[in-house]
Amino acid sequence: MQTDIARLLTRPFDVSKILSKRRQIRHVLQNAGKHTEVRLAILGGSTTSELVDILELFLLKEGIQPVFYQSEFGRFYEDAVVDNAALRKFKPEVVLVHTTARNLQHIPEAGESGESVEHKLDLEFERFHSIWTCLQKEIGCLVIQNNFEPFPQRPLGNLDSVAAFGKNNFICRLNLRLAEHARKMSSWLLINDINYLAAQVGLGEWCEERYWYSYKLALSPTANVALAHNLTKILRAAFGKSRKVLVLDLDNTLWGGVIGDDGLQNLRLGNEAPEGEAFVAFQRYCLELKSQGVLLAVCSKNDLVTAQEGFTHPDSLLKLDDFAAFQANWEPKHENLVRIADSLNLGLESLVFVDDNPAEREIVSAQLEAVAVPDVGSDISRFAEIIDGEGYFEAVHISAEDIARAGLYQANAKREVSLGKFRSYDEYLLSLEMEAEIDVFNDYYLDRIAQLTNKTNQFNLTTTRYTAANLRHIAAAAGYVSLYGRLKDKFSDHGLISVVLGEVKERELHVLLWLMSCRVLKRGMEHAMLDALVAQCQNKGITGIYGRYLRTAKNGMVAKHYEEMGFECVSQSEQESTWRLDLSRGYENRNRFIQITSYATDHTRQVTADLPGSF
Amino acid sequence: MQQIILDKLQPIFREVFDTPNLEIERSSSADTVAGWDSYAHINLIMAIEREFNIRFGLGELDQLTNVGELVDLMESKLNRPR
């Protein structure tokens, strides 16, 4: 339930769903753990009740329980400057001056002289300046001021941006004045950039005119949600709750391809190809974050040396020394994330984890609730946009101590273990709802099998390469046992990812080839393949299976494969080893997590319609 | 038709007024439903527009005095080809 709600309050927003479920969302969030109370006054130039309602949801999600004060409609100036007893009594920690371009009083008119427009600019700036000054002097709180969004109508057309009396020219200049002042007063004055927000939402979507006329709502429901989200980023930053570390996967996150299988020179990285260019752009975005103080870290399932080699790629903007922590090994990622946080002496709530693989994202978000795991999807061209939209690393140029009263913003006591958390790795595997199709070679798959034998380097016991023609011959010949495996889970269909091939000699099977794609490591697929292999052998009256391991530069991870599968060692040297599994004493199936089907059960209906090679 | 509209309005009212057992009738109005202030009113109208996919024009709601009249107005909008 809580994860569903977290998703609802993450971009892209389903605005109607947030609006229709808002009370339910509030109940759930309020009952989830402890919240820090923050006293927030909103001085509005429009109706503020809708904003308050939605803002509360976003703040609750961040562990903040707001207590609100709302000015009467339109009394933002009076409440701050003239008659602020009630506001003073409320003792706000933060005041938001929630105004929009509708609240401007000195708007230039067509044909007006430059001098006169300049005067209007001064008047308008002074009006807001006096609001901030009063709030600062008499209340001493943090002040957040909306800047101004463009006017949607521009009778002057494009000239509006050029002429000194252009209304949107005026808005631009006024916003710059606000920014200049906020830079000087950065210890207590922050800008809520609704000028950017209106562009992001779209000016046409920003306001619903009839709601302004009927209810004095300056924002459409969509804009209201976007504004609440944006304010939450500012408040999170102001209260020292922004995140500090961007933890990155490597393969298909920082470059295209799998470095352990494809090799450094075959990675898709560099501006010669569309995908390579997108990976370079994402690396550049990571570097921009680094240059503003965000720490970068790597968390990858790879051999350390192989992983590090990736950063020697000539087109890699990121270099090894850009990373404050580097975990590349075959341990579960949630364990490595804990190591990364420990090594940087930061809490897990400082981490953002980015991985193209949905299964990795799932286990990390389930095991480590505190880590932010954006759903970046698998399209690299969207990664930066999705991470950026959440504003995880938002900063304000004030130290948290300036505004944080003692003890007020200490991290929440450890939250109760969520129901969604897996109690064990086994439970996680079960939750994946894996299904494998395991069967003997058939014509439809031979090309894919050949391809796999030629590009799999890590989980590959003998690294023997085959062509499709070789394989066609083997599939037709007697005296071989050949199996392929396809795997899918609730997130995706991984396709054909494992192959085992053996030759029968005198009632013993000699395994020539055993390989598996690294995409499905630690899923128990190798157990399912062994079960199927043994079943085939038993049908043929085979009494034992021999397996060989031939060491290469890349297949160190499977050195103990046969041992782990319960084979006994026959001979062993530095470069190779031979193993045997005795079947005469019976065999108990190893697979516990994957439901097995065969080619026939999956394809009988389509097989006649499909042309060879269409897979 | 009017009864169907009224039935579909029940859950919307319950959600907006956060009262799970609220029963509205044609005679219900801001005077009889607790918490029907201007804020709840905005919520309610926006929720109805969203759920029924209709739009109230400027001023159309000003003369209404109870839920029954709201239902009548909604019926006329729903019957109009869109």
Q: What is the pLDDT of residue A203?
A: 96
Helix (H) and strand (E) counts for chain A?
Answer: 25, 17
Band (pLDDT 50/70/90 cuts) for residue A1 is low
Number of folded domains that form chain A: 3
Band (pLDDT 50/70/90 cuts) for residue A579 is very high
Query: Chain A contacts of B58, Cβ < 8 Å?
Result: 210, 213-214
| Percent of chain A topping pLDDT 90 | 72
In this predicted model, which residue has the larger pLDDT, A589 or A410? A589
Residues A250, A202 within the same domain:
no
Contact A50 B18 (CB under 8 A): no
Sheet holding A245-248, edge to edge: A323-329, A295-301, A245-248, A351-354
Residues A436, A583 within the same domain:
yes
The average pLDDT across B32-56 equals: 90
Domain presence at residue A233 = yes
Contact A364, A327 (CB under 8 A): no
What's A372's DSSP letter? B
CA distances A555 to A172, A302, A484, A552, Å, are 60, 11, 20, 6
Residues A167, A293 within the same domain:
no
Contact B42 A210 (CB under 8 A): no
Query: Chain A contacts of B13, Cβ < 8 Å?
Result: none
Residues A231, A262 within the same domain:
no
In this predicted model, which residue has the larger pLDDT, B61 or A2? B61
* Residue at a domain's end among A372, A393, A414: A393
- How distant is the Cα of A6 from the closest Cα of chain B, in angstroms? 21
Residue A471 belongs to a domain with what CATH number? 3.40.630.30
Interface residue B69 vs chain A (CB under 8 A) = no
Of B22, B36, B42, which to mutate for an interface test with A (greatest number of A Cβ within 10 Å)? Answer: B42
Q: What is the pLDDT of residue A156?
A: 96
Domain presence at residue A411 = no
Interface residue B62 vs chain A (CB under 8 A) = no
Contact B47 A19 (CB under 8 A): yes
Contact A354, A246 (CB under 8 A): yes
In this predicted structure, the answer to whether residue B72 has a pLDDT above a threshold of 80 is: yes
CATH of domain B2-79: 1.10.1200.10
Residues A215, A250 within the same domain:
no
Structure tokens at A27: 């109940």
Helix (H) / strand (E) element for A291: namely helix A274-291
Band (pLDDT 50/70/90 cuts) for residue A123 is very high
Domain presence at residue A236 = yes
The domain spans of chain B are: 2-79
- How distant is the Cα of B55 from the closest Cα of chain A, in angstroms? 10
In this predicted structure, the answer to whether residue A408 has a pLDDT above a threshold of 50 is: no
Contact A150, A171 (CB under 8 A): yes
DSSP helix/strand/coil, A469 = helix
What's the complex ipTM? Answer: 0.85
CA distances A470 to A102, A119, A375, A446, A512, Å, are 75, 85, 42, 10, 13
Q: What is the pLDDT of residue A568?
A: 95
Domain, as residue range, for A312: 245-393
Q: What is the pLDDT of residue A402?
A: 34
In this predicted structure, the answer to whether residue A108 has a pLDDT above a threshold of 80 is: yes
Spatial separation of the C-alpha atoms in residues A182 and A546, rounded to whole Å: 74
Q: What is the pLDDT of residue A470?
A: 85
In this predicted structure, the answer to whether residue A399 has a pLDDT above a threshold of 60 is: no
End-to-end CA distance of chain B: 17
In this predicted structure, the answer to whether residue A412 has a pLDDT above a threshold of 70 is: no
The average pLDDT across A97-103 equals: 97
Q: What is the pLDDT of residue A602?
A: 57
Q: What is the pLDDT of residue A419?
A: 34
Domain presence at residue A417 = no
Residues A233, A253 within the same domain:
no
Residues A19, A83 within the same domain:
yes
Range of weakest confidence among A122-131, A464-473, A538-547: A464-473
The average pLDDT across A188-200 equals: 97
Contact B47 A50 (CB under 8 A): no
In this predicted structure, the answer to whether residue A406 has a pLDDT above a threshold of 60 is: no
Q: What is the pLDDT of residue A27?
A: 92
Residues A213, A337 within the same domain:
no
Contact B50 A47 (CB under 8 A): no
Task: Name A559's Cβ contacts closer than 8 Å, sequence gap at least 6.
Answer: A549, A551, A577
- The most confident of the ranges A160-169, A268-277, B9-18, B28-37 is A160-169
Q: What is the pLDDT of residue A608?
A: 37
CA distances A425 to A334, A433, A583, Å, are 11, 14, 29
Query: Chain B contacts of A211, Cβ < 8 Å?
Result: 42, 46
Residues A273, A236 within the same domain:
no
CB-CB: which of A20, A210, A217 is closest to B15? A20
> What does the pLDDT look like over A23-35, one tens digit per residue?
889 999 999 888 9
* Residue at a domain's end among A241, A263, A281: A241
Band (pLDDT 50/70/90 cuts) for residue A38 is very high
- What phi and psi values does residue A406 have, to the nearest 5 degrees? -50, 130
Residue A109 belongs to a domain with what CATH number? 3.40.50.1110
DSSP helix/strand/coil, A440 = strand
The average pLDDT across A192-217 equals: 95
Residue A172's DSSP bridge partners are none
Average per-residue pLDDT for chain A: 89
Spatial separation of the C-alpha atoms in residues A481 and A172, rounded to whole Å: 74
Task: Name A54's Cβ contacts closer than 8 Å, sequence gap at least 6.
Answer: A18, A19, A22, A224, A225, A228
* Greatest distance between any 2 Cα atoms in chain A: 102
What's A222's DSSP letter? H
The average pLDDT across A54-60 equals: 97
> What does the pLDDT look like over A283-334, one tens digit per residue?
999 999 998 889 999 999 999 999 999 999 989 999 999 999 999 999 999 9
Domain presence at residue A614 = no
Nearest to A35 by CA among A68, A64, A66, A58: A64
Residues A126, A150 within the same domain:
yes
